[in-house]
Structure 1
Amino acid sequence: MEKKRRIVPLLIIGLSPVLFMGTILLSISYGAKDIEPAVIQEAFFHYDSSNVDHAVIMTARLPRALGAVMVGAFLAVSGALMQGMTRNYLASPSIMGVTDGSAFVVTLCMVFAPGMASSTMILYSMLGSALGAAIVFGFGSLLRNGLSPVRLAIIGTVIGTFLSSLSSAVASYFEVSQTISFWYNARLHQLSMDLLLLGLPAGIIGLLLAIAAARSITILALGDEMSTNLGQRPVLLKTVTMISVIFLTGTAVALVGKIGFVGLLIPHITRFIVGVDYKWVIPCTGIIGGFFLGMSDLLSRLINYPFETPIGVVTSVLGVPFFLYLIRTRGGKSHV
């Protein structure tokens, strides 16, 4: 039985290079103009800067494809960590105020320090993630049963909406609404290789922390008391987990703006496929999340071809019904 449980996650991990390569190649191939596979091969191995198709592939479509896969993995792992740490089926960066906190601080940076370096912006985005999470969990701890799944989700939604509205108000007052709007609506099309390379180290740190904490989160999901009895230090583990979430979500928001429901949807799909052992859940969630957002980005370009649909619309169409389903079926239960 144990062997069977290992086969599926090992298969997903083993096939991940094929999944990612396939997703990236499809993303590069299709857009406002379809590009033949032979041209893509030439761009990679015999790049000609004077060739328009080569320039589009290397400076626009490749960074976009890589960014979608990378951000999808970051957000999905963040959601899995939050659900495991809080034992809450409804937890995710977009619902628990983490994403909106990051977006709020980035908005302030864009208004008051428009010339800020991208690397510094990523740092402030992480601080915003920490701020959003602190406000939500702070309010939850002050209210009776405030840390229960449904109430925490409601608090997170209210705080997130408040921070988002505050961001819009600041942007309107300083007359930068259009700039902020472009950024909020997932700026995958604006990604460059330089920006991805700036965000990659922080994302890798977040993923390494997540992998290091994975085995312990499986036990933590049984409850703080059980975790302590088994020799763990729940407070330290939760701190490490939240640092990982802050690194991953802060980097994702700084790179592409707000994309909702990836962190809610993908961890549930992953646990359904591989089980509840976070040793497997964390890496498989990252793989499936990267594949999901990469394909969602491709779908956003094909739904209303040749025009683009915001990728947030695609993820919301899938995520909102699933969120309502979770509230109906598991809203009052803890994640165990």
Structure 2
Amino acid sequence: MQHKRWAAACWFVLAAAVLLLSIGFAASYGAKELSLRTVWTAVFAYDDRLTSHQIIHDLRLPRVLGAALSGMAFGAAGAIMQAVTRNPLADSGVLGINAGAAMAVALSFAFWPGLPYIQLMMLSFLGAALSTLAITGLASLTPGGLASLRLTIAGAVISAMLHSVTAGIAIYYALNQDLAFWYAGGVAGIGWSQLRLLAPVIVPALLLTLLMSRSITLMSLGEESAAGLGIRTGRVRLLGMGAAVILAGAAVSAAGSIAFVGLVVPHIARRLVGVTFAKMLPLSALLGAILLVLADLAARTVNPPREFAIGAMVAIIGVPFFLYLARKEGREL
């Protein structure tokens, strides 16, 4: 037991160190190459008279931190959904929750252009919540729907419908250029004003879920056993899915509809630290942050000065992983 705790602590420290290094390298790379020492001094000894410090402080650092926060949110949302539904294929992108948030963004562009970011975020939450209700309602019509591939199928159906509606809105109101960012995913537009709103939403949602870690761990091992131990499974599932909706909605409002982050990283975290949710959730958040920071860095290095879509970079890893898990689950049904 003591050995496992030390191993988990080592993985946390290693993941945190990799994240910090990734943030440093990502902040140093761009049209103008800067050293890690310059990044360090720009963060801890900022001088607004230096152009290099202005580039890092005003442009690169908000972008990289936005990618890290969004990756944390996507990774944690996937870990929560996989645990409370006991579905290894659960992810905010795969299940269509991101599509609901993106459709809400499209509606805001069409009917309320120029909305402040806080209102755009609230609409993103609303879209994510409504799509979650639709998906869980459709999946629950069949026995075992929330803990089987039926939930994934329901998510695919709802996601396809929402994407079709979003595309129709974009065509009718000539929003294709504006919505291209939300479809492809990207963090270039994140500034300090967005970060000041993102952090107070994402961090409390993570802390709330950590407080429920014992209940979620027991639910992930078996709902009947959890109920026998006095866990109110319905309330835990409702609160867990609510936290996942908040995390996914916030991430989509900042970085666009990026799928597969929350699918891949919880599986890696479980392999490293086990199924205990109090260990798995923070590691999933750190791994999600690393994945999105590195994906953004790769998107800028593939074909400079043009940028590749972050969503496509993540999908290169996520699609084969999803197909592997789907095949594995199909054999077990």
TM-score (normalised: structure 1): 0.94
5+ unaligned residues in a row in structure 1: which ranges? none
User: Are the aligned partners of 1:71 and 1:290 in contact in 2 as well (CA < 8 Å)?
Assistant: yes
**1:279 corresponding residue in structure 2:** 278
Tell which deviates more after alignment, 4-13 or 72-81.
4-13
User: Are the aligned partners of 1:274 and 1:281 in contact in 2 as well (CA < 8 Å)?
Assistant: yes
Aligned to 2:84, the other structure's residue is in SS state: helix
Take 2:279 and 2:331, find their aligned partners in 1: how far apart are those partners?
A: 26
- TM-aligned CA distance change 1:333 to 1:104, over 3 Å: farther
Identity across matched positions, percent: 35
Take 1:28 and 1:320, find their aligned partners in 2: how far apart are those partners?
A: 28
Take 1:177 and 1:269, find their aligned partners in 2: how far apart are those partners?
A: 36
How far is 1:45 from its partner?
4.4
**1:210 corresponding residue in structure 2:** 209
Take 1:227 and 1:127, find their aligned partners in 2: how far apart are those partners?
A: 30
The one-letter amino acid of 1:126's match is F
How far is 1:332 from its partner?
5.5
How far is 1:294 from its partner?
1.1
User: Are the aligned partners of 1:32 and 1:307 in contact in 2 as well (CA < 8 Å)?
Assistant: no
Take 1:223 and 1:312, find their aligned partners in 2: how far apart are those partners?
A: 33
**2:329 corresponding residue in structure 1:** 330
Take 2:234 and 2:146, find their aligned partners in 1: how far apart are those partners?
A: 16
How far is 1:309 from its partner?
1.2
**2:299 corresponding residue in structure 1:** 300
User: Are the aligned partners of 1:68 and 1:188 in contact in 2 as well (CA < 8 Å)?
Assistant: yes
Take 2:200 and 2:45, find their aligned partners in 1: how far apart are those partners?
A: 29
**1:185 corresponding residue in structure 2:** 184
Aligned residues: 333
**1:240 corresponding residue in structure 2:** 239
- TM-aligned CA distance change 1:237 to 1:39, over 3 Å: same
How far is 1:36 from its partner?
2.4
The one-letter amino acid of 1:274's match is V
Take 2:39 and 2:220, find their aligned partners in 1: how far apart are those partners?
A: 46
How far is 1:255 from its partner?
0.9
How far is 1:305 from its partner?
3.3
Take 2:28 and 2:158, find their aligned partners in 1: how far apart are those partners?
A: 40
**1:84 corresponding residue in structure 2:** 83
Take 2:244 and 2:70, find their aligned partners in 1: how far apart are those partners?
A: 13
How far is 1:38 from its partner?
3.9
How far is 1:48 from its partner?
4.1
Per-residue displacement from partner, 1:197-233 (whole Å, max 9, x unpaired)?
1111111121012111112111101332211100110
Take 1:333 and 1:265, find their aligned partners in 2: how far apart are those partners?
A: 20
How far is 1:46 from its partner?
4.6
Take 2:135 and 2:331, find their aligned partners in 1: how far apart are those partners?
A: 18
Q: Post-superposition, which runs of at least 4 consecutive aligned residues in structure 1 deviate over 6 A?
A: none
How far is 1:55 from its partner?
2.1
How far is 1:16 from its partner?
4.5
Instruction: Spell out the pairing of 1:1-336 with structure 2 (5 A cutoff).
Output: 2-143=1-142, 146-331=145-330, 333=332
5+ unaligned residues in a row in structure 2: which ranges? none
Aligned-pair Cα RMSD in Å: 1.7
The one-letter amino acid of 2:109's match is M
User: Are the aligned partners of 1:90 and 1:331 in contact in 2 as well (CA < 8 Å)?
Assistant: no
Take 2:330 and 2:204, find their aligned partners in 1: how far apart are those partners?
A: 32
